[in-house]
């Protein structure tokens, strides 16, 4: 088993193409958590959906292992495929609920406002952050999630999203600026300041 642990992702993928169960198992253990959390962040924090998407991704890996280009880094290729899956899901959701989207948003916001009262500042900030992330366009969202939640380097993000590094940095800056304006009320530091003033 240690032999498989030492193998690089590319080598494991070659073995997966030959229906090697142990190679697949190692590959799954390496990336299942990262992938499900990426889907979770990208797909409205829906755990079930994220799990389904993650399962679909590995099922594709089993059924069509030749889709993987061995010349590419497996991790960036994996996020690239996952990002495309999310895009498709966005399109489907947009087609399904063109008219009812606003109603759902309002309902969700109302529910969250009710729950926020019971949660800590950090939890509130986290939920608000996710909410704001969902409002971003697909490119900004994927770039931001990959940078701060999946902790990919700018170079890796550029390869994953097939764009230049400058574009990635620019997207990060403007997304951050946007979020800071929308989240300034929910910043834990700011809330602590407000709380301290209130206690005084």
Please identify, using beta-carbon distances, which residue of 50 and 85 lies nearer to other proteins.
50
What are 104's two structure tokens? Answer: 């759902």
| Pick 110 or 193: Cβ nearer other proteins | 193
Nearest Cα neighbor of 61 from 31, 102, 99, 100 is 31
Give the tokens for residue 152. 């990919």
- Give the nearer residue to other proteins in terms of CB position, either 12 or 172: 172
User: How far apart are the C-alpha atoms of 76 and 199, rounded to whole Å?
Assistant: 48
Identify which of 80, 128, 126, 138 has the alpha carbon closest to the alpha carbon of residue 108: 128
Dihedral angle sign, alpha carbons of residues 125, 127, 138, 52: positive
Which is closer to other proteins, CB of 4 or CB of 28? 28
Here the tokens at position 188 are: 């834990």
Question: What is the secondary structure of 72-109 as a DSSP string?
Answer: S-HHHHHHHHHHHHHHHHHHHHHHHTTTTHHHHHHHHH
**Contact footprint for other proteins (CB under 8 A):** 19, 21, 24-25, 28, 32-33, 36-37, 40, 47, 50-51, 54-55, 58-59, 62-63, 122, 125-126, 129, 148-149, 151, 166, 168-170, 172-173, 176-177, 179-180, 183-184, 187-190
Closest separation between CB of residue 112 and other proteins, Å? 16
Is the Cβ of residue 24 or residue 68 nearer to other proteins in the bound state? 24
């Amino acid at each position: 088993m240690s032999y498989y642990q030492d193998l690089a992702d590319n080598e494991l993928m070659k073995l997966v193409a030959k229906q090697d169960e142990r190679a697949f198992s190692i590959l799954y253990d390496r990336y299942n958590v990262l992938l499900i959390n990426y889907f979770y962040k990208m797909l409205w924090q829906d755990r079930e959906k994220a799990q389904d998407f993650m399962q679909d991704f590995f099922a594709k890996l089993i059924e069509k292992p030749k889709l993987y280009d061995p010349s590419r880094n497996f991790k960036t290729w994996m996020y690239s495929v996952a990002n495309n899956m999310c895009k498709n899901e966005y399109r489907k959701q947009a087609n399904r609920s063109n008219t009812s989207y606003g109603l759902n948003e309002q309902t969700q916001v109302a529910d969250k406002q009710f729950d926020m009262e019971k949660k800590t500042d950090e939890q509130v900030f986290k939920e608000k952050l996710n909410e704001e992330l969902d409002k971003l366009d697909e490119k900004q969202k994927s770039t931001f999630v990959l940078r701060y939640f999946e902790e990919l380097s700018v170079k890796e993000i550029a390869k994953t999203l097939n764009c230049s590094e400058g574009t990635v940095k620019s997207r990060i800056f403007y997304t951050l600026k946007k979020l800071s304006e929308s989240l300034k009320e929910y910043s834990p530091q700011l809330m602590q300041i407000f709380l301290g003033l209130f206690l005084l």
